[in-house]
A = this chain, B = another copy of it.
Amino acid sequence: MAQERVVYMNGEIIPESEARLPIRDRGFVYGDAVFDTTRTFGHRIFKLDDHLDRFFLSLKYIRLESPLTKQQFRDITMDVLEANLKLIDAGDDYWVTQRVTRGVPTGDEPPQPSTIVECTPLPFQQRAKYYRDGMPVVVPSVRRTPPEAVSPRAKMHQYINLMLADQEVKSQNPDAWPIVLDMNGNLCEGPGSNIFIVKDGAVVTPREQYVLAGISRETAIELAHELNIEVREVDIDLYDAYTADEAFVTSTSFCICPVASFNGNPMTNPSVPGPVTDRLMKAYSGLVGIDIAGQYLSRLIV
A interface with B by C-beta (< 8 Å): 7, 9, 16-17, 19-25, 27-33, 35, 57, 60-63, 99, 101, 116, 118, 138-151, 153-154, 156-161, 163-164, 167-169, 171-173, 176, 181, 183-185, 207, 209, 234-235, 237-240, 242-243, 263-265, 268
Contact = CB atoms under 8 A, between A and B. Distances in A.
Contacts of A142: 148-149, 238
A264 to B, nearest CB: 3
Contacts of A169: 172
Contacts of A27: 28
A74 B185 CA distance: 35
19 contacts: A9-B23, A21-B21, A28-B33, A29-B159, A30-B158, A31-B157, A62-B167, A141-B148, A142-B149, A143-B146, A146-B185, A148-B238, A151-B238, A158-B160, A171-B264, A172-B172, A172-B173, A184-B184, A209-B237
Nearest to A235: B209
Contact of A62 (B148, B156, B157, B164): B164
Given A23-B7, A157-B30, A243 B57 contact: yes
B147 A238 contact: yes
Given A243-B60, A263-B168, A32 B163 contact: yes
Contact of A31 (B151, B158, B185, B209): B158
Contacts of A158: 30-31, 158, 160
Given A23-B9, A163-B32, A60 B149 contact: no
A159 B30 contact: yes
Contacts of A176: 172
